[in-house]
Amino acid sequence: MTAIRRHLHRQPELGYHEHATAAFIEEKLAELGITRVKRLMGTGVVAWLGQEEPEPTVALRADIDALPIHEQTGLPFASEHPGVMHACGHDGHVAMLLGAARLLKDCPLPGRVALIFQPAEEADGGAQGMITEGALEGAAVIFGGHIERLYPVGQIAVQPGIICAYTDEFRLAITGKGGHAAKPHDCHDSIVAASALVLQLQTLISRETDPVAPAVLTIGTIQGGSAANAIAEETELTGTIRSVDPTTRTTLFNGLRRMAAGLEGLYQVTTSVTISDGYPPVVNDEAASRIARDAAIAVVGEAGVIPQPRPSLGGEDFSFYLQQVPGCFVRFGARKEGHEQESAHSPRFDFDEGVLPVGAAFLAQAAVAALSRLDELKNVADRA
Amino acid sequence: MTAIRRHLHRQPELGYHEHATAAFIEEKLAELGITRVKRLMGTGVVAWLGQEEPEPTVALRADIDALPIHEQTGLPFASEHPGVMHACGHDGHVAMLLGAARLLKDCPLPGRVALIFQPAEEADGGAQGMITEGALEGAAVIFGGHIERLYPVGQIAVQPGIICAYTDEFRLAITGKGGHAAKPHDCHDSIVAASALVLQLQTLISRETDPVAPAVLTIGTIQGGSAANAIAEETELTGTIRSVDPTTRTTLFNGLRRMAAGLEGLYQVTTSVTISDGYPPVVNDEAASRIARDAAIAVVGEAGVIPQPRPSLGGEDFSFYLQQVPGCFVRFGARKEGHEQESAHSPRFDFDEGVLPVGAAFLAQAAVAALSRLDELKNVADRA
Amino acid sequence: MTAIRRHLHRQPELGYHEHATAAFIEEKLAELGITRVKRLMGTGVVAWLGQEEPEPTVALRADIDALPIHEQTGLPFASEHPGVMHACGHDGHVAMLLGAARLLKDCPLPGRVALIFQPAEEADGGAQGMITEGALEGAAVIFGGHIERLYPVGQIAVQPGIICAYTDEFRLAITGKGGHAAKPHDCHDSIVAASALVLQLQTLISRETDPVAPAVLTIGTIQGGSAANAIAEETELTGTIRSVDPTTRTTLFNGLRRMAAGLEGLYQVTTSVTISDGYPPVVNDEAASRIARDAAIAVVGEAGVIPQPRPSLGGEDFSFYLQQVPGCFVRFGARKEGHEQESAHSPRFDFDEGVLPVGAAFLAQAAVAALSRLDELKNVADRA
Amino acid sequence: MTAIRRHLHRQPELGYHEHATAAFIEEKLAELGITRVKRLMGTGVVAWLGQEEPEPTVALRADIDALPIHEQTGLPFASEHPGVMHACGHDGHVAMLLGAARLLKDCPLPGRVALIFQPAEEADGGAQGMITEGALEGAAVIFGGHIERLYPVGQIAVQPGIICAYTDEFRLAITGKGGHAAKPHDCHDSIVAASALVLQLQTLISRETDPVAPAVLTIGTIQGGSAANAIAEETELTGTIRSVDPTTRTTLFNGLRRMAAGLEGLYQVTTSVTISDGYPPVVNDEAASRIARDAAIAVVGEAGVIPQPRPSLGGEDFSFYLQQVPGCFVRFGARKEGHEQESAHSPRFDFDEGVLPVGAAFLAQAAVAALSRLDELKNVADRA
C-alpha cells in the first residue's frame, strides 16, 4: 500500500483529469484478479466483489483527485506535476481501498461489495456523477473515511449524526457611482460601502445565529476599483457560508440578503447577491455508525475508537451518497509524530503511512460486518 | 472698563438668570447719565443715545450671559459662583459696550444709537427675544464683536460674508429588541446598530459633502442599555451638524435621515430622528463690513485690520439680528501673550484686557460712521 | 407545594435579603418535624435528614432568591413587593426541596441527606458562601435542578459534561480628548473610537474563536459624552463574555484586551479594561449523571428523560459546588401550555406547577439512589 | 482652431507617446512661419517668438496628452484610437496655444515668448522633464489655463493663491494569515482588517482634519484573496490624498501611517504603507494674477472675469513651473449648453469650441501685457 500511495503521490491529477490514476487503479485491481470493473464519468472506477446479484451491496468509497497546490514537502516521492499535489490524503484513500480489496477478494461474502474510486471530490462534487451513473446500484449502506492529522495512528473517530457542514458559496456585487477621486460628493463609493458590509456581516455570526450552533461566514475575496485616483464604481465580494443545521443556514442566507438590501439605502448603491448551494452536511446514520464502531473496535480495539465531539465545518461530498443510502464516514488517525502538523490543503501536508493498513482493515471489516447486519439498517425512504 | 469686567467676572450668571448683571449695567448707565433705558425679556437691557426719533438707529450689541463651567483660572477675580463662569468673554463684551456708551454719550449724533445688552446667547438664542420685544426698533444697521484669542490685541478681523456656521442639533433613537445577553439570536442589539451608524455617519463628511465646503457632524452623546448582562433594547445618540451653506446643510440632514432609515433593514431595528434648527450662520453685509473696516482702521490702523480667511464652525446668535437688518460682526484680537491659549468654553479661559478700549473705540466709531453713511446700506427687504 | 410556591411568589426577596424566606423555610421544616437545621450566611438554611454521621452525605440544593424585576403576570398570587419578582422559578425550587424533605423524612436512609436552601444565586454566587460556611460537610455528591420552559411537565433533561457557561463581565473605558463640537481636529472623539471598537469586537466571535465552540460577547451598556454640542472625552462600555471551554474564554479575554490596546494607536485614546470572573461552567459528573438519569427514569419513565444537546450560555452558581464534589444539575420541564412561553427573567415569566411533584420526587429519588451507589462516584481529588 | 482641435481629437496619444501630436504641432508652427522650434523629452515641443535674447521670456503652456479612456461621445470626430481619448480638453489647449502663436507672431514683442507644448500631464508630471530640459530658459513668468465645464464660454476664472490640490498617492498592503475558510480561528483575515481600516480612514477626514480645510482621502482600489472558500492572506489598497495646505497634508499622511500601524495590534496583521508625492498645489502668484486678470478683462470684459472661490482638489502639473517662476493658471468657461455636463475624464466629455478663440486671445494678451509689466513680478527666489 505504501508503494501505491507513493506512486500516486508522485503523479497527482486534478478533478476530472484523473486519467492516469484511474488506469493505475484498474491495473492494480487486475493484479488482484478483480475483473468486474467499470469506468464511470470518464475517470471514476467501480469494482465489484462477492455475489453477482446487485442486492444486497455494501459500498466502500475512496476519492482519488488531487489539489491545485504546489508541493513544498521535500519528500523523496514529492509531486512530479508542478502546481498539483495530493495535499488532502486521497492518495492514501486509494491505497486503503485497494488494500481492502486485497483483504476481501478471497473472503466468502454473503452479498456484494462495491469499491467506488470517485473523482473530483475537491472540485464540484464528483459523488453526484458517480451516483447518477450507477455506482450505488443495489447498495444498502456505504462506508468511507478520511485521513486525519488530529489523531495518532491507531485511533478511528466514529460519530453518528452531523459531522460535516453545509458549504454554500456566494457572490455579492455592489455598484455605486464612480468618478473623480477628488469629487466624492458626485459619486457613491462602492469600496466604502463594501467595507461597511464586510463588518456588518460579522454580526450575522456574532449576533444573529444561535451561539451554540456552529456557523462561519468567510469573505474570501474582495475586488474593487481600477485606479488609485478614481472612485470605484463596482466592488465584488465572494465567500462561503458554513453551517450544520438548516435553521442557522437559513438565518445566514436571509441575513446576507437583508444586509445587502439594507446597504442600498445606506450608501446609495445597488447590490446583487447570488448564493450557490454547496455540499450538504455529512449525516452519519445511527445504525451504520454502530456497525462502523464495531468494525473499528475489531481493528484498533475499544480504546482506539473515539467520538468526534464537534462537527467539522469543512465540506465532503460523501454527503451525496448519504442522501441515497445510510452509511458512515469515519476519520483515521494519521498524525505524523515529530513533525509540525500541517493541515490538509497545506503545501507541506503529509501523514503517517502507518494509517494505511488500519484504513484498509477497517473498510474490509465494515463491509463484512454490514453484510451480516443488514437488518439493522433502514433504507433512506423508510427513514424519511 | 477693567473694573467692570472683573466685577462681572466674579458674578457670572447663566442665560435668562442675568438679574444682577442687568442691574449692574443699569447702574453703570445711570452713572453715565444715560436715562433712556429699558428692560426687555426680564434680564435684557437696551439704552438709547442721540436723537429721540427711532429712525435712523444704529444698534450695537453685547451678550451678557455666562456658562455652566467651573472656573479653574486661579485669577484673583475668579468666579464666586461655583459651576458658573464667564468663559467666553461676555464680561468683556459688556465692559466694551459700556465703554462705547461713555465715548458716545457726549457726541453730537446725527441719529440714534441703541446699546443692546442681550441675555442668553449661550442658551437658545436670546437675540430672538430681544428682537421680538423691540430691540431693533428703527435700526438700519447693527454691529457687534467677539473677543478672540487667535489674534493679538491691536488686531480686528473684519470679513464680509459668512463667518459662522449653521448650528443644528439632532437626536436619534435606535430601538432594537432587548433580552438575555447570552441569546443574541433572540434579540436585535441596539448598541451594535448604533455603533455601526456612528461609523457610517462619518462618511457623510468624508464622502457625501463637497470636500471644499466646511462641514461637521459630531455625535456628542451616546447612551444605551442598562445592564452589562442584557442586550440593550434602546440606544440614543445626540449631536450637532455644522455647515456654512444650505446645500451642505441639506446634504447632511438628508444623509442623516437616509442612513437612519437604512439602518432599520440592516440591523432589524427602528429609528427615529429629530433635527432641531439651531442658529443660522452669521452673514456680514458687504456695505456694513466696509463701514466696519473703516471704523477698525480708525482704531487700530490699516495694518491691524485683517480678514477672517475661513468661517468659524461655531454658532453665534448675532445671526438673528442680521436676518432683520444689515450689519457686521467682527473679532477683537485679545491673545494673552505668555500664556497657553485656552479656547473659549475652557475652564481656564482668559484674555488680555488691553482689548477692552479697542473694542469700545471700534463700536463707538462704527456707530458714528454708520450714521453718516446710511445711504450705503440697503435694508434686508431690498436685498432679498 | 403549590401553596408554598405561591406564598413565596407573593413575598419575593433579593439576594442576601431573603430573611422572611429563610424563616418560612425553617417554619415548614419544623412542621415536618425536621430539627437538625442551621442558618448559614444570614439567610441561607441547611437541614439534615437520616444518619447523624456527616459521612456519607448526599446534598440537594435549591436557590431561594428573587430578581429586581417588576412583575407583570397579573397572577392572583403576584408579587406584593414592587420591583422584586420570582422570575426565575426559585420559588418552585424551594417548594420542590421542601417536597423532597417530606418524602425523605420517613425513609430509612443509609447515610445523611443535606437540604441546602441557598441565597443569592442571582447576585454574585451565594453558593460560595454556603460552601465556606460548611454546607457541603461530608458530601459525596450533590444534585439540583432548574425549572425549564423549553420542555413540558413530565420531561427531565439529564446531560453529563458542560451544560452552562462561564459568565464573565467586563468594563472598558475609553478616554479621548473632549472639546468643541466644531473642532474635531483639536479633539480625540471617544464615541467614534468606542463605536469602532464595538464593531471590531464582533470579529472576536466571528473570526477569532473556533466556530464550533459556543461563545458570546455582549456589550450591554454604552455611555459617552454629556452634551450634544461637545466632543465626548470619555465613553464606557460594559458587557459579558460567555464561553464553555477555557481556550475560548482565554481567546476572548486576550482578544478584548488586545483590541482595546490597538484602539489606542488607532484613535489616539487611552483605554482601560477590567474583566471580572463570573460563575464557572456547570460540569456534570459522568457517574452522578448516570445516577440522576436512573432517578429521573424512576420518576418520569425512560421516555421522559432527555438529553440537553447543547450547553446553555446562561450562568448558574451550582458550578461552585461541582468544583468541590461530583454532582448533576438537571432541568425540569415546566412549560405552561396554552401560553406564550416567556423566558426566565421576563416580567411575565410563569411555569406549570405540575412540575413541583416531579422535581420533589426526582430529588428524593436521587438522594436515596446515590446513598446506595456511592462506590460509583469518585471524589474530585481523585478525578483531578 | 476648430479644425486643429478636431484633428487632434481623432488622433489622441497617451503621455510620452505623443509622436504624431508633436509632429502635427511642428507642422502647424511651420505653416505659421515659426522656425525657432525645439523638441524636448522626445514628444514635447517649444517654440519661441519675439526677441532672440532669452531674457526676458514670458512662457505660455499647453498640455498635449490624452487619457486611457474609451470614447463614448458619438462625435463625428471621435477618437480613432480605441481606448485612448482626449477627455480632458488638451486637444483644445493645443489649438488655443497655436491660435495664440498666430496672434503673436506678427506682434512687435519687447522680449521673448516661449510656447511650451508639454507631454504627459496626465501621467507623472511631464512638466518636470520640460523644466529639466530647459523649457523655462529665461522665463520671468508663465501663463496657462484649462477648459472648464462649470462656466459658460465668455467667462474666465482668475484666482490668486492656491487653486489646485496636493495629489499624493498611497499603497497599503495588509498581510494576515490565510487558511481554510471554515477555520477563521487559525487565521488572521486580511479582508476584515482592510474593511475596518477603510472605515477608520474615513475618520481622518471627518474627525482629524480641520473642517474648514479641504481634504480628501479616496481608496481607489481594494484587492484581496484568491478563492471564495479560503481566508485571504493579503489585501491591498491604493488611493489618493488631496489637500491644499501642508498642515492638512501632514495630518493625513501621519494619520494614514498611524492607523495602519494601529491595525496591526487590532487584527494581528502586518501592514506596509508607501506614500508617493504627487503634484504640488498650483499657487498662482499675486502679481501674475493681476496681469492675468487684466488680460482676461481685455478679452471678455470685466463682467466675464470671475473668481474661483474654492480650490479644486484635482491635480495639475503646471504647479512645477510655478515652483520655478511666478505665473497664473486660469480656467476658460466652455460649458456645452443644452447637454448634460460631463466632467473631465468622462468617456462622454465634450466642450463648446467657442472657448478656443477666447483662450487663444487670453494667452496672447497675457504674454504681451506681461512683457510690459515685468517690474511687477518678483522672481521665486526673492519671494522665498
Is residue D157's pLDDT more than 90? yes
A206 and C205 in contact by Cβ < 8 A?
yes
Looking at residue A183, what is its pLDDT? 92
CA distance B324 to chain C (A): 26
- Picking from A169, A227, A232, the nearest residue to D229 by CB comes out as A169
Q: Are residues B191 and B120 in the same domain?
A: no
Measured distance CA(B117)–CA(B64) in Å, rounded: 6
Q: Is B215 on the interface with A (CB under 8 A)?
A: no
Query: Would you say residue A381 has pLDDT above 80?
Result: no
* Nearest CB to A258 within list B196, B261, B265: B265
CA dist A291 and A300 (Å) reads 14
Within 13 Å and on the Cβ side, how many CA atoms surround A248?
24
Task: Give the tens place of pLDDT for each residue, B159-178.
Answer: 999 999 999 999 999 999 98
CA B375 to chain CA centroid, nearest Å: 29
Sheet containing strand C215-224, strands side by side: B270-279, B166-175, B234-243, B215-224, C215-224, C234-243, C166-175, C270-279
Is some CB atom of chain D closer than 8 A to the CB atom of B70?
A: no
CATH of the domain at A240: 3.30.70.360
For residues D115 and D99, give the distance between their C-alpha atoms in angstroms, rounded to a whole number: 11
Residue contact D207–B203, C-beta within 8 A: no
Say if residues C92 and C334 touch (Cβ distance below 8 Å). yes
Q: Which of D261, D279, D297 is the last residue of a domain?
A: D279
- Which three cell numbers mark B141? 444697521
Chains that touch D (3 or more CB pairs under 8 A): A, B, C
Digit-coded pLDDT (tens) for B351-376: 999 999 999 999 999 999 999 999 99
Split at pLDDT 50, 70, 90, the class of B379 is low
**Are the beta carbons of A145 and A363 closer than 8 angstroms?**
yes
Question: What is the arithmetic mean of pLDDT over B210-222?
Answer: 96
Write down the residue that cell numbers 423555610 correspond to. C25
The mean pLDDT value of chain A amounts to: 94
pLDDT tens track for D347-369: 889 999 999 999 999 999 999 99
Question: A 150-169 residues with CB below 8 A of D?
Answer: 165, 167, 169
Asked whether the beta carbons of residue A229 and residue D169 sit closer than 8 angstroms, the reply is yes
Interface contact flag, C207 A211, Cβ < 8 Å: no
CATH number at residue C333: 3.40.630.10
Banded model confidence at residue B383, pLDDT cuts 50, 70, 90: very low
Q: How many CB pairs under 8 A join B and D?
A: 46
**A86-131 per-position pLDDT tens digit:** 999 999 999 999 999 999 999 999 999 999 999 999 888 899 999 9
Confidence band (pLDDT; 50, 70, 90) for A383? Answer: very low
What is the separation of C-alpha A201 from the centre of its chain, rounded to a whole number of angstroms? 26
Q: Where are the beta strands (DSSP E) in D188-313?
A: 215-224, 230-231, 234-243, 270-279, 283-284, 305-306
From the list C202, C207, C313, the residue facing A212 with the nearest CB is: C313
Ramachandran bin of D194, using left for φ above 0, alpha for ψ from -120 to 50, beta for the remaining angles: alpha
- Find which of B229, B346, B348 to mutate to test the C interface (most C CBs within 10 Å of its CB): B229
Across the interface, whether the CB atoms of C259 and D251 are under 8 A apart is answered no
Contact D204, D243 (CB under 8 A): no
Which residue on chain C is closest to D264 by alpha carbon? C262
Tell me, what's the pLDDT at C343?
76
Q: What is the pLDDT of residues D184-217, one digit of tens each?
A: 999 999 999 999 999 999 999 999 999 999 999 9
Residue C208 DSSP class: I
Q: Is A182 on the interface with B (CB under 8 A)?
A: yes
d(CA A281, CA A168): 11
Q: Are D335 and D245 within one domain?
A: no
Mean pLDDT score, D46-53: 96
Judge: C198–B216 Cβ closer than 8 Å, yes or no. Answer: no
> Are A147 and A292 part of one and the same domain?
yes
D226 near A CB under 8 A: yes
Pair (C222, C205) in one structural domain: yes
The tally of domains found in chain A comes to: 2
Q: Which of A251, A262, A268 sits opposite B265 (nearest CB)?
A: A262
pLDDT at D314: 87
Predicted local distance difference test score (pLDDT) of residue B341? 66
CA-to-CA separations, B79 to A357, B339, D150, in angstroms, rounded: 91, 20, 55
Q: Which chain D residue has the Cα nearest residue A342?
A: D179
pLDDT (tens digit per residue) in C204-221? 999 999 999 999 999 999
Q: Are residues D137 and D257 in the same domain?
A: no
| A286 part of contact set with chain B, CB < 8 Å | no
- Span D250-262, pLDDT tens digits: 999 999 999 999 9
Question: Considering A279, A305, A328, which residue would you say is the last residue of a domain?
Answer: A279
pLDDT at residue A384, rounded to an integer: 39
Q: Does A118 touch chain B (CB under 8 A)?
A: no
A212/chain C closest Cα distance in angstroms: 5
Domain with B257 in it: 166-279
* Domain shared by A109 and A159, yes or no: yes
**pLDDT for the residue D383:** 46
Express each pLDDT in B37-65 by its tens digit.
999 999 999 999 999 999 999 999 999 99
Identity at D168, one-letter amino acid code: D
Q: Are residues D148 and D25 in the same domain?
A: yes
* Minimum distance, in Å, between the CA of residue B323 and any CA atom of chain A: 30
Coil, strand or helix: which one is B334? coil
Please answer yes or no on whether D311 and B199 come within 8 Å at the CB atom: no
- Residues in chain B within 8 Å Cβ distance of A182: 211
Domain final residue, candidates C253, C279, C305: C279
Give CA–CA dist C219/B224, Å, rounded. 10
- Is there a single domain that holds both residue B45 and residue B134? yes
Q: What percent of chain D has pLDDT over 90?
A: 86
Q: Which of D184, D211, D258 sits opposite C265 (nearest CB)?
A: D258
Chain A partners of D184 at a C-beta cutoff of 8 Å? 216, 218
D229 and D375 belong to one structural domain = no
With cell 429588541, the residue in question is B177
Angle between helix axes A2-10 and A90-105 (nearest 10 degrees) is 140
B184 vs C: CB within 8 A: yes
Q: How far is D166 from chain C (nearest CA, A)?
A: 20
- Provide block-wise average pLDDT over 10 residues at a time, chain C (384 residues): 96 96 98 97 97 95 93 94 94 98 94 97 92 97 95 95 93 94 94 98 97 95 91 96 94 97 96 95 95 97 90 92 97 86 81 97 97 82 44
Its ipTM equals 0.83
Per residue in A9-41, pLDDT (tens digit) is 999 999 999 999 999 999 999 999 999 999 999
CB contact under 8 A, C221 and B232: yes
By Cβ distance, the residue of C171, C218, C312 closest to B181 is: C218
| Residues B157, B174 within the same domain | no
Express each pLDDT in A244-265 by its tens digit. 999 999 999 999 999 999 999 9
Whether residue C270 is found in the same domain as residue C189: yes
Residue of D162, D163, D206, D219 best to disrupt the B interface, most CBs of B under 10 A:
D206
User: A346 pLDDT exceeds 90?
Assistant: no
- Closest chain D C-alpha to C208 CA, distance in angstroms: 4
CB pairs under 8 A between B and C: 158
- If asked whether residues A196 and A132 sit together in one domain, one would say no
Distance CA C198, CA B196 (A): 8
